[in-house]
Structure 1
């Protein structure tokens, strides 16, 4: 490994560019980051205790997955109180302390907001289901049964089965895109939008630097409840949800108006950031729709890489080409790993090439045009854990067993210490999910003082990105994308960087220049070895 000056400080963000543009964001899944009270579940104090580690990576921001009051049917993505911390994670005072410490370390903080649905234990839903005439009767999506008693239409839930559940109190069905315990909010209703905007304002007043809006394209449906058409000539289908084109159950055009209201509120607080999660077959188009111009969300990310079965030159080139540096195009964000997808090193490469590929993957992520998101443990090279069926917590994996790869395998506890009786430094209690059998050898304390470790390499990669205007903000210029080699340039304000990656287990030819800044793997005078990469400055 050869790198440029790794001690270089973070580049000062240009006055013309907001902090989030080209930033590196570190995602924290609270249940699995660090536990301070011995109950086997991570908490806010655990995050605060380890923020020095996060800051040492060179990231700009942390994104914290849900920590709000919840019955935990979907582990926090079923919110019962948008303005309160679940006692499992601590208190609002603990969050305030976390936020203050992060800001002290120069880290921005964004938090999840789940506005397409709530928990069925939320007071709004309890009132809504109590009658057809109460003040919140229309705050959720209710519909009468068909004449034969069946659900109002053919919409299917992501987690399996119809997306309608009968409620005896109202003698109607309610809609839920995910679990039946996650009823769909009726975001067409101005009162619902205002209530959610009030939640947004609550956290902005508390000092957060922005939001990641979960499954935002699910937030509005077709009020006519039109049936979805089937998928023509589908590939293998593992869930009823996969049989349909999701035209009418999500992504209604009126959603743009709500997005613009969110952006207007967020902008009124100054230098804040709004990031959308967008999934589905129209994700690419919707990411553009939700980020175009100056009055919608700042950025969006999809599942181009998160669900990709392989990392190929063609995939990277095509995905990058969809986001040109054009006035009418928004700003993308990218993630290779997160809490919803199996660890990339276990998806994309055979075990015998894993160590080398892990470094290449990190360097490639940091070379992409856009804002990048690292998932906790990615800096260590953590692998996917094979969680046995009897230990699964993920409702999607349980419902669709054995077809769906478990999200639990990417949610296992963070290993802080290699030699420890306290679950690798995660907890003094029994962890809520099993430890990765190979994760002790990848623990933070084992890698921290090793200049040849994946952790050290991650720090060097982010230092390079932070110190290179071309990597942070530059245009993406494709050069080569064949079966094995990916080559592109990043160009900005006189700086030109050539980025070359061998995404294969074979040696490939290389034409070197003189300005090597960072390399990984066997980089020869005229060839790149298996899963090797090189970034050079072209003068």
Structure 2
């Protein structure tokens, strides 16, 4: 019964949506937005986000200003000078909205307010004003797929089958056996269906039980969420990172997902003890693109603002990633390219292929590279335990010396490492509680920022307990210590970012892979429109490597080279004919 109703409503959705969008204040811009309308472009006339350095702030863990052990907005505001000196163009804040904090903010109970743990709306406005003074833009995390089960919308929807908001969420009758409607699973373990005993129906949750999925086939849902976007643009934000954006739609026929077989032919079992499913019925469905085009119209209506849309896009191919930009570049400006940074092994040929795809198969669009975030182990997952520091430098060189917009995670710049909990009793993340011990959760990559070697690493006041423990590594890995070390990771990041911004070839040039049969060194050419050329070489091995470059086939005549940046201990080559790299070494040179 419920399934048929859903299908019939889909046929009317487009007409109803058009009417609602016409009625809404589609292009209204607040006085604040008008005052900031000239801030949309950089000095080169490009969109501000093109070639930018984006920095993810996990607010709970960045800086605590009031001693309660939880980071907050005023703490972030106090560190903007540091971020400006690092070269950051924009910060992305993971969710700061009111929330029961089941998923630490990704379960939202009010989209148009600030969670008291992080501060007030006045604190947010203060952060915005301070960010503007430091020439840093603010990007909000926007969760469109689901709300908290404590959101007023869901409380109404759950109250009865006849409630006007019943169709705002994904309700279905039980399956033929009286159980869940089908075999769909939550990304966080077990069935994606939860029975509501009061009404006798199940609601769908792609993630936690407390995160019911919105029904994006309902035009009222779309209008409500687009109005939320307008609310924050009117307060001056520069864009949105769209959480779980590929999961907005599901197969209306409720087709069971296919089981993925293992090597023995039996179904694969995941960390939660569930059969591994293909997710072809619940992820990356074509209807997502309709929403992205509509959302882009909303943000583009703020003329001169250049509001950027960034997508959390875990996709299986470069073709799927290309689609996220839109056939007419009318969807996401920056879908995240997870295919490079999350290779998770130092495989030269695979890095070369994936980077080349991003540079040549996105219709000229700029890729957004990212190596880690709040959901994945930090960069040290690539380490060998001996050369980790140099491997970290090498990964940073790939991130900042490529033709891309670069997204980094707080603490990357000092080499903060993953510090997972040692026992289940220490786990705060429900993913780890459900998946322990195979999946220890995401606490390890969310530990407090390490500012100093003092009490609580300078994150929070002395004597207080922090929401997650301070890792032991804070004694040597911290901003204060690395500011005084000439060869620190922090200075390496500062130099790389400065080069990305100041060098014409690295800022605006195209990118071509070099020495494409080399099994040890990843190297590429960056060449600016005016002819300025830079070579970048990264040694993927624990042994020294000597390479040479013949650039004539690429239209570059020079054989001389001027060192722009190199791994500490590396040599300055006399010419491009012989460049020697230390283990996991990096060389960046200007062709002369």
Same fold (TM over 0.5): yes
Of residues 346, 350, 355, the one that matches 1:311 is 346
* 1:338 counterpart residue number: 373
Moved more, 76-85 or 240-249: 240-249
Matched, 1:457 2:510: no
Matched, 1:426 2:460: yes
Q: Which structure has the larger Rg over C-alpha atoms?
A: 2
SS of 2:515 mapped into structure 1: strand
Q: Please give the alpha-carbon distance, in whole angstroms, between the structure 1 residues aligned to 2:541 and 2:253.
A: 50
* 1:110 counterpart residue number: 139
Say which structure, 1 or 2, has more relative contact order (CA 8 Å, 6+ apart): 1
The Cα of 1:435 is off from its aligned counterpart by 1.0
The Cα of 1:463 is off from its aligned counterpart by 0.2
Q: Please give the alpha-carbon distance, in whole angstroms, between the structure 1 residues aligned to 2:417 and 2:255.
A: 42
Q: Please give the alpha-carbon distance, in whole angstroms, between the structure 2 residues aligned to 1:349 and 1:88.
A: 35
Q: Please give the alpha-carbon distance, in whole angstroms, between the structure 2 residues aligned to 1:371 and 1:236.
A: 37
* 1:65 counterpart residue number: 94
Number of residue pairs aligned between Structure 1 and Structure 2: 525
The Cα of 1:255 is off from its aligned counterpart by 1.5
1:371-520 mapped onto 2 (5 Å cutoff): 371-388=405-422, 389-418=424-453, 420-428=454-462, 429-481=464-516, 482-493=518-529, 494-511=531-548, 513-520=560-567
Q: Please give the alpha-carbon distance, in whole angstroms, between the structure 1 residues aligned to 2:200 and 2:337.
A: 37
The Cα of 1:425 is off from its aligned counterpart by 3.7
Moved more, 515-524 or 330-339: 515-524
* 1:352 counterpart residue number: 386
Q: What RMSD over aligned residues (CA atoms) do the two structures have, in Å?
A: 1.9
Question: Residue by residue, what CA displacement relative to the aligned partner does 1:209-237 show, whole Å, maximum 9, x if unpaired?
Answer: 00100110011112221111122446774
SS of 2:164 mapped into structure 1: coil
| Unpaired segments ≥5 residues, structure 2 | 1-40, 550-559
Matched, 1:533 2:586: yes
TM-score (norm 2): 0.85
Q: Is the 8 A contact 2:257 2:280 kept in 1?
A: yes
Q: Please give the alpha-carbon distance, in whole angstroms, between the structure 2 residues aligned to 1:314 and 1:50.
A: 39
TM-aligned CA distance change 1:126 to 1:49, over 3 Å: same
1:52-451 mapped onto 2 (5 Å cutoff): 52-233=81-262, 237-239=270-272, 243-269=276-302, 270-280=305-315, 282=316, 284-292=318-326, 293-305=328-340, 307-325=342-360, 328=363, 330-345=365-380, 347-388=381-422, 389-418=424-453, 420-428=454-462, 429-451=464-486
Q: Is the 8 A contact 1:522 1:528 kept in 2?
A: no
Matched, 1:37 2:90: no
The Cα of 1:314 is off from its aligned counterpart by 2.1
TM-score (norm 1): 0.93
Q: Please give the alpha-carbon distance, in whole angstroms, between the structure 2 residues aligned to 1:72 and 1:377.
A: 23
The Cα of 1:436 is off from its aligned counterpart by 1.1
Q: Please give the alpha-carbon distance, in whole angstroms, between the structure 1 residues aligned to 2:83 and 2:438.
A: 35
TM-aligned CA distance change 1:263 to 1:95, over 3 Å: same
Moved more, 93-102 or 405-414: 405-414
Q: Please give the alpha-carbon distance, in whole angstroms, between the structure 2 residues aligned to 1:57 and 1:530.
A: 27
| Unpaired segments ≥5 residues, structure 1 | 1-11
TM-aligned CA distance change 1:516 to 1:405, over 3 Å: farther
SS of 2:166 mapped into structure 1: coil
TM-aligned CA distance change 1:511 to 1:236, over 3 Å: farther
